[in-house]
């Protein structure tokens, strides 16, 4: 069954809007795990507009499931992950001023950088996932760079889901099959929600993990965090 990793960036955004420690990011992570999440994801951006460096170190002490740290592999990110050593490092191509992830890596053009970074992370025992568009060539490039997994960028799927769900998922199936044939693990994330998640999993049942934050936290405002996590987990069942 596909695992659910809850991205708690939005919890930190809410906290930072007021200052102080309410909501408590660490406590929310503990609760997410207690309520059934199989992983915790964070993306500590350089401007610390949501997750801070301190949050990452505090979370490392308490996360008992899989800890996934996303980010662009600049000096700051590498310093954090090499010190914290999460279960998984997910490399994204976002420049520092990007609001949210909006494209996957060009794993061919950036092969030299990615090979060097991946080798260093794996040397320290981390699983490495590369954020890619649903493009078979980009998946092949990720494998050649030494990645353990690819994370398919699902915003285009989510945007087109209500127009033509079969068409929206088509390239994802092809990219997933390519990843599987190359021995790569498979993650997915971005704009997945209670409406589009089950269809994706039904079409690609061997996705290892989905990372969901924004939609899940929004749903939790209406349904409550515990109930929302269980609702998402039910969507992951085939």
Mean pLDDT of 42-50: 95
DSSP 89: E
Query: Tokens 């490399």 belong to which residue?
Result: 91
Residues 6+ apart with CB under 8 A from 43: 7, 9, 50, 51, 69, 70, 71, 92, 101
Catalytic status, residue 116: no
**For the chain, percent of residues with pLDDT exceeding 90:** 95
Q: How many domains does the chain have?
A: 1
DSSP string for residues in 91-117: E----TT-SS------TTTTHHHHHHH
Catalytic status, residue 70: yes
Mean pLDDT of 193-212: 98
Q: Does the pLDDT of residue 99 top 60, yes or no?
A: no
Query: Tokens 């760079």 belong to which residue?
Result: 145
Instruction: Quote the domain boundaries for residue 189.
Output: 3-235
Q: Determine the pLDDT at residue 129.
A: 98
Catalytic status, residue 162: no
Rounded Cα–Cα distance for residues 135 and 172 (Å) = 8
pLDDT tens for 115-133 read: 999 999 999 999 999 999 9
Mean pLDDT of 21-37: 98
Question: Which position among 66, 70, 140, 151 bears the catalytic label?
Answer: 70
Q: Does the pLDDT of residue 63 top 70, yes or no?
A: yes
- Residue 224 maps to which CATH number? 3.20.20.70
pLDDT category of residue 96 using cuts at 50, 70 and 90:
low
pLDDT category of residue 103 using cuts at 50, 70 and 90:
confident
Question: Which position among 50, 66, 151, 190 bears the catalytic label?
Answer: 190
Q: Report the predicted TM-score, pTM, of the whole model to 2 decimal places.
A: 0.95
Question: Which position among 33, 43, 66, 140 bears the catalytic label?
Answer: 43
């Amino acid at each position: 069954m596909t695992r659910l990793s809850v991205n708690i960036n939005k919890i930190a955004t809410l906290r930072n809007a007021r200052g102080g420690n309410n909501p408590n990011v660490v406590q929310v992570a503990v609760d997410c795990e207690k309520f059934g999440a199989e992983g915790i994801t964070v993306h500590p951006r350089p401007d610390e507009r949501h997750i801070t460096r301190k949050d990452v170190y505090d979370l490392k002490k308490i996360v008992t499931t899989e800890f996934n740290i996303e980010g662009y592999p600049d000096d700051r990110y590498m310093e954090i992950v090499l010190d914290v050593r999460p279960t998984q490092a997910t490399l994204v191509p976002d420049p520092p001023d990007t609001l949210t992830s909006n494209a996957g890596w060009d794993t061919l053009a950036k092969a030299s950088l990615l090979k060097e970074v991946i080798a260093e992370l794996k040397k320290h025992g981390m699983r490495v996932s590369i954020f890619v568009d649903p493009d078979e060539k980009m998946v092949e490039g990720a494998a050649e760079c030494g990645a353990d997994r690819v994370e398919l960028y699902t915003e285009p799927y989510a945007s087109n889901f209500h127009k033509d769900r079969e068409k929206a998922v088509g390239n994802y199936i092809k990219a997933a099959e390519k990843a599987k044939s190359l021995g790569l693990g498979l993650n997915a994330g971005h704009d997945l929600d209670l409406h589009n998640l089950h269809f994706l999993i039904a079409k690609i049942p061997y996705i290892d993990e989905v990372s969901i934050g924004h939609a899940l936290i929004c749903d939790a405002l209406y349904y409550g965090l515990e109930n929302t996590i269980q609702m998402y987990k039910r969507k992951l069942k085939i």
